[in-house]
Structure formats: structure tokens, C-alpha cells
Amino acid sequence: MAFYAVAGVAVLGALGVLFFRNLFHAGLSLILALSAVAALFILLGAEFLAGVQVLIYVGAVAVLILFAVMLTQRITARHVPQYTRALVPAAVVALGLAAVTALVMWKVELPPMAPMPASSALEELAGRLLSTYLLPFEVISLLLLGALVGAIVLARKEERR
Amino acid sequence: MTITPLHFVGVSVLLFGIGLLVVLSRRNAIGVLMGIELMLNAVNVALVTFDRVYGPERLDGQLFALFVITVAAAEAVVGLALILAIYRARGTVAVDDLRELRG
């Protein structure tokens, strides 16, 4: 079944991010997981989000991360330890959080899945984005501008004087 | 066996847990950033699932996910720029080597 295949790929990709010692391989595994999440969006009937996911996450963020890994190449050397010493407490915290969340979601009575909408909701999505959510939309464009300028200022080589 | 919203929420919980473990256990700051991206994606899956369950005609969940993706992109760009700056200044991006502020 499509869902199980896609969910399996997503979880396997995430596990790859966790277990690959080479950070570059972990980044490639991250791309796999992010693509699988895009497929999950399609299964949920959110085609536009799936497109955005592929464009922004797989196309931009993941490639940016791989570039950063390559620019800081020395740290992926084999002898450098890749995990912190606090591995056991970290595992306890993460597993505990996942267990509690899973328990809560198990107790909650979720209504069954609504039938797939007949037509794409793109028009409705655009309408709401530019009416109800107009203020967050404008604020987030300012945030993007700030991030753009900030990234250039931070990553620029300092001029020798 | 039909696919219920619980299945999608389950995938979301798994991805979030793995992402948190990556954030807490990786020494390399770029690895930590990868974990954060995984966690944000897990939340997006949950948001879109609840959007589909509770309001297929309202689309709030999808719009929230859209905003989350945008903020995540901005966060990744600034985070990687910071990591590059730290690498230039210190020659390392291992999070447990950066401990000047520790009391």
C-alpha cells in the first residue's frame, strides 16, 4: 500500500540522518526523508504543499546543507567523534517524548479521514493567504528579507584592513 | 485495513522523535540543523493531517504548514551562515567545543 511504502521511506531516511557517520551521507538521507514527506502531503491531498516542499526543502534547504557540509569538510574526517557524550540521556529524552506523544494521540478519538476533495484547493488557499492571513504573509516577507541580509552579512568574508 | 489519521500522526511522532534524537546526539552543528529540519517536517505532517481531518474546507492547517516551511527556510539560511562564520573563526563546528559562555 502506498502509505506504508512512503511512511517507511520517510522513517528510513530519518534513521539515516541519525546513524550515518559521514555527515554528507546523512544529508543525502535527509533529502530522501524530505521527499517522502512531500509524498505524504500528496497522500493527504495537499498537492500545493507537496510542490512547495520539493522546491524549498529538497531543492533549496537540503542543497544548502550539503554545501555547508562540503565547506566545512575537515570535520567529517573519520577519526572525529560524531556523537556527543550525552548519547544515553538524549535517547531517553527523545524516546520518552515520542512515547508520551504517541500515548496521547492513541487516547484521542480522531474522526475518520474526510473524503479526498474533488478539486484542488489551490484557489481557496490563495484566497485565504491574501485575506485572512494577509498580516502574517507580509510579516513573513519581512522575515525573509531580514534572513537574506543577515545571512549575507554573517557569511561574508571579513575585509582585512 | 484502511489508513486512518492516526497512521499519519504516528509517522509524524516517529519523525519528531528521531529528529529530536539527532539534535541531542550529533556533535556537528550542521547535523543538529538537519535534526531541526526533520522535527519541523514532522510537525508539518501533523498539521496537514489535522487540516484534512477537522476542516477540509478551511485549509488553516495547510496555511500554517506553509508558514512553517518559510520560517524553516529562513532559519536554515541564517543558521548555516552562523555555522560558516563560526567555522572560519574557530576551525570547528562541534557543539560541545563551543563552551565559552558556560559558567
Residue A5 CA to residue B27 CA, distance in Å, equals 31
Number of domains present in the structure of chain A: 2
Find the closest chain B residue to A12 by CA distance.
Answer: B15
A69 lies in the same domain as A137: no
Regarding whether A17 and A72 lie in a shared domain, the answer is yes
Same domain, A138 and A70: no
Tell me phi and psi for residue B28, to 5 degrees. -80, 130
Residues of chain A in contact with residue B75, where contact means CB-CB under 8 angstroms, are: 147
The answer to whether position A103 is within a domain reads no
Residue ranges making up the domain that contains A134: 120-156
**CB contacts, 8 Å: B5 with chain A:** 110-113
Per domain, the residue ranges of chain B are 5-90
Picking from A78, A99, A130, the residue at the C-terminal end of a domain is: A78
Cell of A96: 520518552
The predicted structure's pLDDT at residue B56: 63
Residue A114 lies inside a defined structural domain of this protein: no
- pTM confidence score: 0.89
Q: Which of A54, A78, A102 is the last residue of a domain?
A: A78
Q: Which residue of B has its CA nearest to A141?
A: B70
- Tell me which fold the domain B5-90 belongs to: Helix Hairpins (1.10.287)
Residue A11 located in a structural domain: yes
Q: Is residue A83 part of a domain?
A: no
Q: Which of A37, A79, A120, A141 to mutate to test the interface with B (most CBs of B within 10 A)?
A: A37
Show the low-confidence residues of chain B (pLDDT under 70). 1, 56, 103
Q: Which long-range contacts (CB under 8 A, 24 or more apart) does A20-25 make?
A: A21/A78, A21/A82, A22/A76, A23/A69, A23/A75, A23/A76, A23/A82, A23/B28, A23/B30, A23/B31, A24/A66, A24/A69, A24/A70, A24/A76
Interface predicted TM-score (ipTM) of this complex, two decimals: 0.90
The pLDDT, as a whole number, for residue A148 is 92
Does residue A107 sit within a domain?
no
Please report the sign of the dihedral spanned by the C-alpha atoms of residue B98, residue A58, residue A126, residue B49. Answer: negative
The whole-number pLDDT of residue A125 equals 86
- Residue A40 within a domain: yes
CATH of the domain at A34: 1.20.120.1200
As a whole number of angstroms, the distance between CA A105 and CA B49 comes to 13
SS3 at position A122: helix
